[in-house]
Copies of this chain bind each other. A is one copy, B any other.
């Protein structure tokens, strides 16, 4: 199981607004069942089998072409852990529990 962040950046869009391209990418993730996701301010985070995720990422990248877009920069960060099952949820709660402990035992 892997966690992957993807950010799609269309180039030469005339406008600075990219939200319509991001929305299309989110629709692609919503229209399939195998990969869980979470929208963040800087990209979409996917969770599941790495090959299934990469197949979704490939479709997201492709979706940005069209309506005059002829160049797309896509940034992908994979976090793939095989010693234990890590989810988006477990990664964040692990940090949060360490923050609580540090607050109780400062210094």
Binding site for B on A (CB under 8 A): 3, 5, 7, 9, 11-20, 22-23, 26-27, 38-43, 45, 47, 50-51, 54, 58, 61, 65, 70-83, 88-89, 91-92, 94-96, 98-99, 102
Q: Is the CB of A42 within 8 A of B41?
A: no
Q: Is the CB of A12 within 8 A of B14?
A: yes
Name the one of B15, B40, B78 contacting A74, with C-beta atoms under 8 angstroms: B78
Q: A91 — which chain B residues lie within 8 A by C-beta?
A: 19, 41
Q: A11 — which chain B residues lie within 8 A by C-beta?
A: 9, 11, 13, 16, 18
Q: Is the CB of A38 within 8 A of B38?
A: no
Name the one of B12, B77, B81 contacting A42, with C-beta atoms under 8 angstroms: B77
